[in-house]
Amino acid sequence: MTAASAPESLIERLLSGRGIWPAVPAIIVLLFVAVIPFLILLSLGISDVVTVRGAIVSQEFSLRHFSAALADPLYWTTFHRSLTLAVTTTLLCMLLGFPVAYLYLIGGKWWRRIILVLTIAPILTSGIVRTYAWIVILGGRGVVNSTLIQLGLIDQPVRIINTHWAVLIGMVQIHLPIMILPLIAAMSRHDPRLDEASANLGATRLGTLRQVILPLAAPSLGTGAALAFTLSYTTFVVPQLLGGGNYLNAATMVYEQVVYALEWNKGAVTAVILMATCLLGLVVIAGLTNLASAWTRAGR
C-alpha cells in the first residue's frame, strides 16, 4: 500500500499542476530557441564577425556597425518611411475598424455572425494570398483598370500598383482584422444596461457612444493598435509585392542584408534597431491608451 502510493503521489504532484514542473519543458525550449538567440542577435549587433560559408569563424566586440548604420542616411529614410507607413496604417485601421465594432454592438445576431466570419477568415488566410488579391484588383489589367476602361473613363491603364498608395491600401486592408478582433471582444463584454442607463439619462445614441462605449473600449483599441502597429511595421510581404520590389521598408532591408548580401552584422544591427523602435512604438501606444482612459474617466 505504502509502496504503491509513493510513485502515485509523485504522479499526483505532477498532475495536480500546483508546481512549476509542467512548464519546465516549455521554459527550456524557449530558453534555447528564443532567449539565447536574442542575446546572440544582440551580440552580433555589437561585434565584428567573420563568416565562412555560413559558419562564424571569429567575433570581436565593436560598435562599428551600429555607428555606420546611424551615420547612413539610407537607414534614416528607410526607418522614417516604415514608421510613417505603420502609423498611418494603424490610424486608418482604427478609423475603419471601430465602426465595425459599433455595428457588432448594436447589430442583431446575423450582423454579429457576418462580422465574425469576415474578421476571422482573413486572419486564417495567408498574407501572401491576401496581398495577391490586391495585385488582381490594382494591377495593369486588374479589376479597377478593366472596369474604368470598359466604362470609357480612361483609354490606357492607370498605374496604381507599385506606388505608395497601393502599399497603403494593402497594408490597411490586411491589418484591419487584427484591429477589429480585440474590439469585438470588448463589445461582447459590454454591458447593454450601461447604454440603457445612458439613454434614460437623456443621452443621444452618439452621446452614449462617445461617453460610455468609446471610453470602455479604449483599452481594446490600444491592444488592436499595438497589434496592427507591430505587424505593419515589420511586414515585408505587402511592400515587396505591392511596392514593386523597390519600396524599401525596414523589414525588406533586413531581408536583403541577411539573405541576399549575407551581411550578418548589418542585418543584426538593422534587426535590433527594428525591434527597439517597435518596442518604443508599443510603449507610446500603451502610454496613449492609459492617457485616453484616464482622460475619459476624468471627463465623466
Partner 1 sequence: MTNRWPSRDWLDQLGVGAIVLVAIFTLSLLLFPSLIVVIISFDTRAFLSFPPQGFTLRWYEQVFQHPVLVGAMWTSFKVGVIVTTVCVALGVPTAIACVRGEFRGRAALSIYVLLPHMVPGIVLGIAVLFTGALFGIGPSIWLQSISLSVFVLAVMVRTVMSRLQRLDPALEQAAANLGASPMQSFTTVTLPLLLPAVLAGSVFTFVEGFDNLSVTIFTHGFRDRPLPIELLAIVQQTSSPMVAALSGVQIILALVAMLVLAMTIGLDKVND
Determine if 66 is a binding residue for partner 1 (CB under 8 A).
no
227-286 residues near partner 1, rule: CB under 8 A: 230, 233-237, 240-241, 245, 251, 254-255, 258-259, 264, 267-268, 271, 274-275, 278, 282
Going by the DSSP 8-state scheme, the letter that residue 31 receives in this structure is I
User: CB of residue 208 vs partner 1: minimum separation in angstroms?
Assistant: 10
Taking the C-alpha atoms of residue 17 and residue 21, their distance in angstroms, rounded to an integer, is 8
Residue choice 79, 122, 167, 228 for contact with partner 1 (CB under 8 A): 122
81-100: contacts with partner 1 (CB under 8 A): 95-97, 99-100
Site for partner 1 in 125-164 (CB under 8 A): 125-137, 139, 141-143, 146-147
Nearer residue to partner 1 within complex by CB, 89 or 119: 119
Q: Identify whether the C-beta of residue 48 lies closer than 8 Å to the C-beta of residue 60.
A: yes
Residue 103 interacting with partner 1 (CB under 8 A)? yes
CB of 127 to partner 1, least distance (A): 6
Tell me which of 58, 204, 287, 297 binds partner 1, using CB under 8 A. Answer: 204
Backbone phi and psi for residue 294, each to the nearest 5 degrees, phi listed first: -65, -40
Cα–Cα dist 96/98, whole Å: 6
For 119, counting Cβ atoms within 10 Å of its Cβ (0-12 exposed, 13-18 middle, 19+ buried), the class is buried
Nearest-5° angle of CA 61, CA 64, CA 65? Answer: 100
Neighbours of 62 (CB within 10 A): 13
The yes or no reply on residue 52 touching partner 1 (CB under 8 A) is: no
CB 272 within 8 A of CB 45: yes
Pattern 12-51, partner 1, x by CB under 8 A: x--xxxxxxxxx-xxx-xx--xx-xxx-xx--x------x
Q: How far, in Å, CA of 263 to CA of 185, rounded?
A: 43
Interface stretch with partner 1, choices 71-79, 80-88, 176-184, 284-292 (CB under 8 A): 176-184
Establish if 109 lies at the interface with partner 1 (CB under 8 A). no
- Is residue 78 within 8 Å of residue 270, measured between CB atoms? no
Q: Considering only the stretches 76-84, 152-160, 203-211, 292-300, report the one whose residues sit in contact with partner 1 under the rule CB under 8 A.
A: 203-211
